[in-house]
Amino acid sequence: MRNCRNCGDLPLNHFRPACKSRYCTSCLREQDRARYEERREYKAEYDRLRKYGLSQGSYEQLLKEQNNECAICHKPFIKAPHVDHCHSEGHVRGLLCVRCNLGIGYFDDDIDTLHNVINYLKI
């Protein structure tokens, strides 16, 4: 038996072999998950600021203005939204779902091509 600081006394097979930690494997896994999530959120925030000049406050304001919905299809975000920006001028246009962001990307932000798509869909 060995003592985990969170769980109490547990059999030895609940601990990593040759590990001096005072936590069992389950607790260590949970700590790793929490650290990963914290780093992931920090990295996303840092990337938005570096790439688009969009602070966390501005990002949250955009989410609020869009009612937590995609700026194109108006469906609620299921996953983290993508920051849509003008590639030539660099300004942020809004937040998009994955599908709308990919759609615009595949058409290279070309308005004429998108008009052709609309006309084609009307057939």
Question: pLDDT for 84-120, tens place per residue?
Answer: 998 888 889 999 999 999 999 999 888 999 999 999 9
Angstrom distances, CA of residue 72 to CA of 93, 96, 101: 11, 7, 9
Compute the C-alpha angle 15/21/25, nearest 5°.
35
Query: Whole-model pTM?
Result: 0.68
CA-nearest of 5, 52, 50 to 26 is 5
Max Cα-Cα span within the chain: 73
Which CATH class name applies to 54-123? alpha beta
Q: Pinpoint the residues of the chain covered by CATH 3.40.1800.10.
A: 54-123
Strands 82-85 and 92-96: antiparallel
